[in-house]
Amino acid sequence: MVRRVSRREFNFGLVGLIGGLAVGCAQTGTPAPGAGQPPAPPAAPREVKVGAIYPLTGPVASSGLDCRYGIELAAEIVNGKYDLPLPLAREEGLPNLGGAKIQLIWADHGGSPERGQAEAERLITQEKVVALIGAYHSSVTATASQVAERMGVPYVNAESSSPSLTERGFKWFFRTGPHDATFGKNLFDLLRDMEKKGVKVRTIGIVNENTLYGSDANKITKQYAQEYGYQVVVDIAYPANTSDVTSEVQRIKANNPDVLFQVSYTSDLILFIRTYKQLDYHRQVMRGDSAGSDVPQYAKALGKDAEYAVTRAAWSADITAKRPAAKAVAEMFQQKFGQPMTENSARAFTGMLVLADAINRAKSVDPEAIRQALLATNIPGDQTIMPWQGVKFDEKTHQNIYAQGVNLQIIGGQYYTVWPFDLATREIVWPMPKWSQR
C-alpha cells in the first residue's frame, strides 16, 4: 500500500523501517518475539545504507569518479578487516551495530543543482538512506544539503570548498575538508613568507569562473588581499565551459599584476594555460582551485605546460612520508583502481570514514543519534590520511576546525609540497620561468 508519509512520521519511519525489525513485524501483524513484554531494543540492521551524490556523468565526471573511488575504498576498509591505523579498519563492519556493513547507494547529479536536489530527495524517501555524502560541486552540495536539512538526515561533505556552505549554520550539515577561506589564506601565507625571502609582490589579479564556487573564492581572495595589503588590479569572472579565453588573458596581460590568482574548473584551466602560453603571459599563477591538481589527466593533458603554477591542495601524494596510513591506503587505491590516489579521492575517503565512525559511535541509525555522534567526533590527525591535526567539528558551523591545506607545485612532471616550508619536499620555483626558457 502506498500512502503519503508526513515528515515527522518519516523520520520515525526511517528508524523503524531500516533499524527496527521488531517494530516492522508488529505492524504487519506477525507476532514479534517477546510480544507483550517491554519492547526489546531494535535489532541491529545488517546493512547501513549511505547515499552518495556525485557528478558521475557530465563535464566534471572525472573528478566525480575520483571521489567515488575514494568512498568505495573507505567503505571497503570499514566493511572488511585491515591492519591500518584508521577508525574501523581493524574490525569488520560497524562493531557497535553488530558488525553491520556500509552499503553505498549512488546517485548522479551531472553537475546540476536541480538534479542534486531531486536525487537527495530520492535517496532519503525511496532508498531510505541513513545519511548522505557528496556532492563535489559547491552549488549542488548547497541544494542537496537543503533537502537533508529539511528532512532531518545527516549530510557529510568532504570536498566542496565554498565557505558559505558551513556559514549557513545548518543543523544536519558537516564538512570535513578545508574550505576556500582556509585555502585562500594558505596562498597568502605563502606570499607573505616569500616576501620574507625577498620576493616583492604589490599587485594581484584574480580570474575566476562565475558560479558559486568561483565567486566565493573571488570574494575571499579580495578579502585576504586587503588584509595582507595587496592591490587587486584586475578582477575577471568568466563563464565556465567557454570556447575561448583569449580576451580574458589579454585583459590580464594589459593590467600586468605581479601574481595571478586563478579559480577554474579543469576544462577551463587547460584552455587558460594554453592561452597563457600562446600569448606569452608568464606571471606567477597561484591557483586557488582544486581543479586539475586532483585530475591526474590534467598534468598529462598539458604536459610540461602544467608546471610551476602554485596550487593549493588538501592532500598530496608526498604526505605519505608523514602519515603511515596514507601510504598503505594510497597503495591499496592504486592497486584497486589502477590510478594514483588524488586529493579528491583522499578527501572523499576521509569524509566517508568520519561518517562511518560517527554511525558506529551512534550505536544506531537514528538520525539524531548520528548527528550527536558527528558533533562529538574527535579523530586525531595520525588516524587520518590527511595533513591535518585531526577531525573535530565547530559547534555552530560544523566545519572541521583542524582542516588545512598545503601548497604544491608540479616540477618535472610531479607534484611536490612547497609550502608550508617546513613540510616542503622541494624548494619552491619562483617566479615561473618564461615560456621561452622552459
Partner 1 sequence: MTPDLLVQVVVSGLLIGFVFALISVGLTLIFGVMDIVNFAHGEFLMLAMFAAFWLYALFAVDPVFSVLVCGPLLFVVGVLTHKLLIRHILNAPMLAQIFCTFGLSVFLKSLAQFLWGPNFRSITEPLLGGRIEVLGVFFGLPQVAAAVGAVLATGAVYLLIYRTELGRALQATSEDRQTAALMGIDTERMFTLAWGIGAACVGVAGALLSMFYYIYPEVGAVFALTSYVVVALGGFGSVTGAFIGGLIIGLVQVVAGFISPAFKMVVVYLVYMAVILWRPQGLFGRW
Q: Rule CB under 8 A: which residues touch partner 1?
A: 57-59, 61-62, 64-65, 210, 236-239, 241-248, 250-251, 254, 266-267, 270-271, 274, 277-280, 295, 297-298, 300-305
Nearer to partner 1 by Cβ, of 27 and 247: the residue is: 247
User: From the CB of 112, what's the least distance to partner 1, in Å?
Assistant: 13
Q: Could you give the strand order of the β-sheet that contains 101-108, starting from the edge strand earlier in sequence?
A: 101-108, 47-54, 131-134, 155-157, 173-175
CA distances from 203 to 182, 261, 377, 429 (A): 21, 11, 42, 19
Kindly compute the dihedral angle of the four CA atoms of residues 153, 159, 162, 166, in this order, to the nearest 10 degrees. 40
Helix 324-337 and helix 343-362, axial crossing angle in degrees, nearest 10:
110
Nearer to partner 1 by Cβ, of 231 and 241: the residue is: 241
How far is 32 from 206, CA to CA, in rounded Å? Answer: 65
User: From the CB of 113, what's the least distance to partner 1, in Å?
Assistant: 18
Nearer to partner 1 by Cβ, of 62 and 389: the residue is: 62
User: From the CB of 248, what's the least distance to partner 1, in Å?
Assistant: 5
User: From the CB of 349, what's the least distance to partner 1, in Å?
Assistant: 20
- Identify the burial level of 432 via C-beta atoms within 10 angstroms of its C-beta, where 0-12 means exposed, 13-18 middle and 19 or more buried: buried
| Cβ-based neighbour number of residue 105 at 10 Å | 17
Nearer to partner 1 by Cβ, of 226 and 278: the residue is: 278
User: From the CB of 265, what's the least distance to partner 1, in Å?
Assistant: 10
User: From the CB of 206, what's the least distance to partner 1, in Å?
Assistant: 11
CA 217 to chain centre: 15
Nearer to partner 1 by Cβ, of 320 and 339: the residue is: 339
User: From the CB of 308, what's the least distance to partner 1, in Å?
Assistant: 16
Residue 98: CA atoms inside 13 Å, Cβ hemisphere, count?
11
What phi and psi values does residue 144 have, to the nearest 5 degrees? -65, -40
How far is 297 from 147, CA to CA, in rounded Å? Answer: 34
Nearer to partner 1 by Cβ, of 233 and 301: the residue is: 301
Q: Which of 183, 165, 136, 148 lies closest to 351, judged by CA?
A: 136
Nearer to partner 1 by Cβ, of 244 and 422: the residue is: 244
Instruction: Please provide the distance, in angstroms rounded to a whole number, between the alpha carbons at the two ends of the chain.
Output: 70
User: From the CB of 10, what's the least distance to partner 1, in Å?
Assistant: 34
Nearer to partner 1 by Cβ, of 146 and 266: the residue is: 266
**What is the residue type of 139?**
S
